[in-house]
Structure 1
Amino acid sequence: MDLRETLVHEIPNVINKLTKLRNFLAFHRYYEEKYSVLGFITGVLMEKGIKNLTSLQNMCYVEVDHGGVDLIEEMKMLRQLRKLGLRRVKRELVNALSAAIEEMQHLESLNITAIAEDEIIDLTLPKLRRLHLKARLDKLPDWIPNLECIV
C-alpha cells in the first residue's frame, strides 16, 4: 500500500485485516515548515491491531507517540520487517522499542526520528545495513562499533 505524499494522517483499524500486506508506505513532506534537524516528514497514526500485519516487510513512517508502548509491543509480531521507519519517538519508549527491534530478525534498515530536537534516543540495535537516526546524542552510542553490517 503506497500512501506516500498523500495527506492521509490517520489509518483506520480496518487495515489490520490486510494480513498479507507486505509494504506500507505512508508519509508527507512539509516543505513550508521552518528548518528542523528532525526533517520535514510526517508519518501516520495507527491504532492497535498492527500485530496482525505479520507479512509486512516495509513499514514507513508511523508516528509512535500516538500509540505509545502498546503500539510498540505489537510491533514485536512484525518479524518479517526488513525496513522500518518511525517518527516522534520519545525517550520513554526506547526500552520497548529495543525489545521489539530485537524480535525483527530480518530488519536491515531502520529510520528513527525523535519527537523533539532535545530528546535523547539510545537504542540497542541488531545487525542493520542502514541506520538513520535523527535525535540528540550525548555521545556516540557504545553499540555503534557492533554494527558490523552497516554499508
Structure 2
Amino acid sequence: MRALVQRVSRASVTVAGETLGAIGPGLLILVCAMRGDTEAEADRLAAKIARLRIFRDGSDKMNLSLLDTGGAALVVSQFTLAGDTSRGNRPGFSDAAAPEPGERLYQHFSRTLAGLGPHVANGQFGADMAVELVNDGPVTMWMEVAPKDPDLRTS
C-alpha cells in the first residue's frame, strides 16, 4: 500500500459541491492499494502513519505523532499513486489494486486508523474529488508498505 502524507493546518474534500470530509490540524493522507496488498499491509501502514513523528514539539523539533497531538486525518483514495512512467510519458496503472479490493482496503485502512485514536474523515472512493489543503511546513512524506512476500506484488 502506498500513501502520500501531508501535515496540514486544514484540509477538505468535496464531491459535486458537497463537502464530504474536513479536518483542522492533522494529516491529509492520499492512499492507494496496490495489486497483492491485503488487510495486513493496510494495518501496518495505518499504524506507521499514526505514529509518524512529523509534528513539532515544544522545542520546534519534528518529534510528535498524530496520536501525540490529537490531530485528525483526512483519508482520500488516490489510485494515481500507482502511476508508472518508466515506459514513457503516459502513466500506466496496472500495479494498482482492482476497484473492489482497492475500495475494501481503502475502507479497512480508514477504519484501522480511526481505531488507533484519531478522528478520521474520508473522501469517496472512485469519485471525482476536489481536495483543498493548507500544507503545514510544508511537510510531505511518501510511504509504502509492501507485502512481506515480494512475489505477491506481481500476482
Give the TM-score category using the shorter length. Answer: 0.3 to 0.5
Larger-Rg structure: 2
TM-score by length of 2: 0.32
| Structure with larger RCO (C-alpha < 8 A, sep 6+) | 2
